[in-house]
Amino acid sequence: MPTRHAQPDSDFRQEKYCSSPEIERGLRAVPVAVRCRATRDAHFKRIVWFLQSRSWADGGLKSVSDEILQLYRDRIGSATMRKLGVTTAMICRAEIVRSIRRDFPAGYSGSFPLKGDRDSASSLLDDGDDEAFHRFWKEDTRPRSYQGKEFVEFCLHCASDELEHYLMELALNPGTSTTTGPWYFSDLLNVLAEYKALCIARAGADAVVTEIGAKITDTLDYALQSRSLVLIDGSARTGKTFSAKSWCAIHPGEARYVQVPSTNDDMSFFRAIAQALGISSSLTMKGQQMRDRVENVLQGANLLLVLDEAHYLWPQCDVRETMPHRVNWIMTALVNHGVPVALITTPQFTARQKTVVKKTGWTSEQLIGRIAHYEKLPDVLSDEDLAAVARALLPEGDARSIRTLAAYSKTSDKYLSAIEHTVKRARFLAGKEGRQEIRFGDIKAAIEGGAIPSDRGLALALGETGKREHGRPRERAISPILKADCTRAAEPFINAPGRASITHSTERTARMVEAARS
């Protein structure tokens, strides 16, 4: 289109900037998949898909390259520099300098000249003319040695200018080596593996392992390892979504999270998957085009596709005449080709499935036969888990505040989200008084002044009073508990020995998931 090539002095149109390199985001999944098919190195493929996922985050690969240069500054250098152990304080004599210069590409051949070098002018000297050479040597003012610091800074300068582009080449260009790094950062591939592990550790550093989160983790681990279809079924507002997102965050080179849209059309469905994978999904692109690209990537990328809100895979209207195209596509285009898929849903999934079977005559045997594992999650969290979630959302909270949040969540229809909303409201109230820290009074005011009336209003507005939620009868409002210091309901577990802090399993340090929201 003409706006893609608009001249700087052309008439102002907002569209003329849409293709500017400055706002271009992310590595496209299709060429990345092609790149990965050119190598059998599974470890390298995971690094490439990790870079591809990070390229779509804020800052893109520029942010990645900047952080790598900051964290691994001492690892920057050419292969010869690392072999000779060149340090910033080292004096590099002529022989060492010449060895290091051999690592430089042609464009840097004139860097770090030495006294006596035969450049274009001195090469005209007759090798047999000792007097001429002696005169040349005497007049040559170039140094005889350099400090190691100068080489390190030179490599750092080149890395600052070129590393982002090199990461793009690594992820896209089949001609880029999978065993060696750029000349100025020969240890880059090892650094990338360490950086990937660091990002995974960060994602799980503050995670809380609940019973439900642990079951989701184990099921997703199994789906990835067995490359099969799994179904995770659990009640709403128990932390399924946040656990799944957290698991995907600590598997950036192996999984993608997608929330299935509630629409009934295929285009929105494939657009959601395309956006999660990093595939072109412009509004002008046809659904068939997106579907073909999604299939092309998933069938060769070794990525686990995590589909949350999976009950929306079933037709949402005109059930009598509509076949479950989304479910059929998952079975035939993904599972049949060895693509691992995880479906995360509420009991609505089976209810919608029965409706489709009854109305359309569609049979479930093919789907049931492909499900390698079905995980039914508990309807409720333990008191210990509720306290852990409260502490994760309010790390600065005192024991009294944590007890109150855990107790309140058990009485609210919002369940886990009640903790999140109460903490947000308490932070708002504290901010109005010019404070950053949340006090118990803020928690109490948030519950009595906003949360409980909100719960009651929702119940009345939706006409759901008297129903059972999360496998337990609805309890009374928590205001009487608050008047009794809000401690009794949570006393048995909050004061139990060893409950002063949540202890994380060392076997799951790199795979912890956070189940604070749903």
Rounded mean pLDDT, 480-505: 37
Res 16 pLDDT > 50 = yes
Q: At residue 49, what is the residue type?
A: W
Q: Which DSSP helix (H) or strand (E) runs through 424?
A: helix 416-432
Q: Of the given ranges (13-22, 208-217, 367-376), which has the lowest mean pLDDT? A: 13-22
Of 11-15, 30-34, 495-499, give the lowest mean pLDDT range.
495-499
Helix, strand, coil percent values for the chain (each to nearest 5)? 55, 5, 35
Of 18 and 317, which is predicted with more confidence? Answer: 317
CA 461 to chain centre: 38
Place of tokens 């950053």: 436
Query: CATH 3.40.50.300 region(s) of the chain?
Result: 206-376
pLDDT of residue 360: 84
Which of 376, 349, 345, 342 is closest to 471 using CA atoms?
A: 376
Phi, then psi, of 230 in degrees rounded to 5: -125, 155
Give the whole-angstrom CA distance, residue 413 versus residue 465.
Answer: 10
Residue 449 is predicted with a pLDDT of 75
Residue 374 C-beta-side C-alpha neighbours within 13 Å: 11
Q: What is the residue-averaged pLDDT of the chain?
A: 82
pLDDT above 60 for 508: no
**What's the pLDDT score for residue 327?**
95
Q: Are 77 and 184 in contact (CB under 8 A)?
A: yes
Q: Residue 494 — pLDDT band, cuts 50, 70, 90?
A: very low
Q: Which of 126-135, 137-146, 187-196, 389-398 has the highest mean pLDDT?
A: 187-196
Burial class (CB in 10 A: 0-12, 13-18, 19+), 98: middle
> Could you give the 3-state DSSP secondary structure of residue 388?
helix
Give the C-alpha separation, 406 to 486, whole Å.
Answer: 10
**What pLDDT is recorded for position 3?**
46
Identity at 226, one-letter amino acid code: S
Q: How far is 454 from 32, CA to CA, in rounded Å?
A: 48
pLDDT at position 121, please?
47
**% the chain with pLDDT above 90:** 54
The residue with greater pLDDT, 10 or 483, is 10
> How would residue 317 be classed by pLDDT, with cut points 50, 70 and 90?
confident
Of the pLDDT bands very low, low, confident and very high (cuts 50, 70, 90), residue 472 is very low
Q: Is 457 left (phi over 0), alpha (psi -120 to 50) or beta?
A: alpha
Per-residue model confidence as pLDDT tens digits over 114-146:
887 765 445 545 555 556 656 666 677 788 899
Q: Residue 204, SS3?
A: helix
257 vs 470, more confident: 257
Lowest mean pLDDT among 69-83, 193-207, 239-253, 465-479: 465-479
Over 90: is that where the pLDDT of 112 sits? yes
Architecture label for domain 206-376: 3-Layer(aba) Sandwich (3.40)
pLDDT in tens, 141-179: 788 899 999 999 999 999 999 999 999 999 999 999 988
pLDDT digits (tens, 9 = 90+) for 24-48: 678 999 999 999 998 889 999 999 9
Residue-level pLDDT at 448: 82
CB burial of residue 409 (10 Å; 0-12, 13-18, 19+): buried
Whether residue 482 is predicted with pLDDT greater than 80 in this model: the reply is no
Instruction: Say yes or no to pLDDT of 474 above 90.
Output: no
Distance CA 333, CA 338 (A): 9
Mean pLDDT of 190-195: 96
Q: What mean pLDDT comes out for the span 250-268?
A: 92
In this prediction, residue 282 carries a pLDDT of 74
Nearest to 513 by CA among 166, 143, 241, 272: 241
Question: What does the pLDDT average to over 341-358?
Answer: 92
* Sequence-separated (6 or more) residues with CB below 8 Å from residue 160: 69
From first CA to last CA, the distance across the chain in angstroms is 43
Q: Report the pLDDT averaged over residues 198-213.
A: 86
Looking at per-residue pLDDT, the higher value among 309 and 11 belongs to 309
